[in-house]
Amino acid sequence: MTNDEATEAVIRKFKSVKQNPDVYLEGLMYSKPITYWDYIQVDTLLSLQKTRTELPDEEIFIMYHQVTELYFKMILSELKQISNHSYLRKSFLIPRIQRINRYVGALTMTFDIMSDGMEVEQYLKFRNALTPASGFQSAQYRMIELCCTDLDQLIDARDRKIVSKTDTLEKKFAHIYWLAGGKHPKTGDKTVTLSLFEEKYNKLLLDHANQYAETNLRKKYTSLPKSERLDEELIDALRELDRKINIEWPLVHYNTAKKYLVAKGETQKATGGSDWERYLHPMYQKRIFFPELWSKEEIENWAKK
Ligand code: HEM
């Protein structure tokens, strides 16, 4: 684009929204040059690590969670775009799913920052200062699942027989799998971790479930024309996504929890208070976003190998 063409394009843009382009062009004369630190908000970003102890490895723990939440935001951005697409075709869908797979892959590959990158002694000390907070309370993690599939796929494995596809969204939501991770192992009472999470996020998550009931990724996929639905590259990308989100990340996370919480041969209570050994292993809940893409045998052996 030449200078003249660029100026004309800018003038056209402002005129199209009934704004006087001269005022905006004059404003540009006085604008400050943008800097890296302002644009990336570096100072704000680096001020967000509020440790609760004096142990240096706590910063690693906080920052890695923050990095993960940013990746979750990137995943959600892709899922939103897929959901808003009114004329979805595999040419758009495949690269977007591949982007998500790249993000989740990066998180899985780097999880050793958690498993091997902190001193066990320090972790076991600073974790006490975090109780009852837990990654269990990550709302974005739940939003990703609700964007990926139907609520029916996220019902607690033990309740799947008593919840029917035709039940209301509210009833299904009352049997969502994560409630199992928010109960005291012995009494079955709700943990503080779950109660606080529900107080803050239940309405938002139910709205989110409603919003994506008809436009989640599984719905978008199953409503593609048959010729597109059977595309091998698309099927591979979706299976990869299911494997990455519902087996690989949960397994590296589970193994990390095991490393720290079974430290010194003694099983520790999780900060969120769950029956974590049973809850976190993906073979128990068998969350599967796209069941139509897996064989009966693959579903049976989910996360067992
Ligand atoms: C040393 C590192 C970690 C340990 C020991 C650990 C441990 C646990 C435990 C025991 C739970 C079960 C709930 C509870 O009772 O607290 C849990 C849940 C969870 N954690 Fe972590 N975690 C670690 C790192 C992370 C990181 C980096 C993230 C990233 C955001 C994360 C996200 C989650 C999520 C999303 C859940 C809920 C999983 C589900 O519902 O299936 N955790 N974690």
**CA-proximal residue: ligand 1, atom 5 (nearest):** 257
Contact 245, 144 (CB under 8 A): yes
- Domains of the chain in start order, with CATH, are 3-31 (no CATH), 60-300 (1.20.58)
Ligand 1 centroid distance, CA of 231 (Å): 35
Ligand 1 centroid distance, CA of 163 (Å): 27
Q: Which atom number of ligand 1 is nearest to the Cα of residue 274?
A: 15
The pTM for the full model equals 0.95
**CA-proximal residue: ligand 1, atom 32 (nearest):** 135
Q: Which atom number of ligand 1 is nearest to the Cα of residue 118?
A: 1
Contact 275, 257 (CB under 8 A): no
For residue 183, list its beta bridge partners: 190
Which residues does a 6 A CB cutoff place in the pocket of ligand 1?
A: 64-65, 68, 114, 134-136, 138, 141, 178, 181, 253, 256-257, 260-261, 270-274, 276, 280
Ligand 1 centroid distance, CA of 25 (Å): 51
Amino acid at 150: D
Q: Residue 32 contacts by C-beta under 8 Å, 6 or more apart in sequence?
A: none
Ligand 1 centroid distance, CA of 57 (Å): 17
**CA-proximal residue: ligand 1, atom 21 (nearest):** 135
- Identify the pLDDT of residue 252: 98
Over the chain (305 residues), the average pLDDT of each successive run of 10 is: 91 95 93 96 98 98 98 98 95 97 98 97 96 97 98 95 95 96 88 97 98 98 96 98 98 96 81 86 96 97 91
- Identify the pLDDT of residue 81: 98
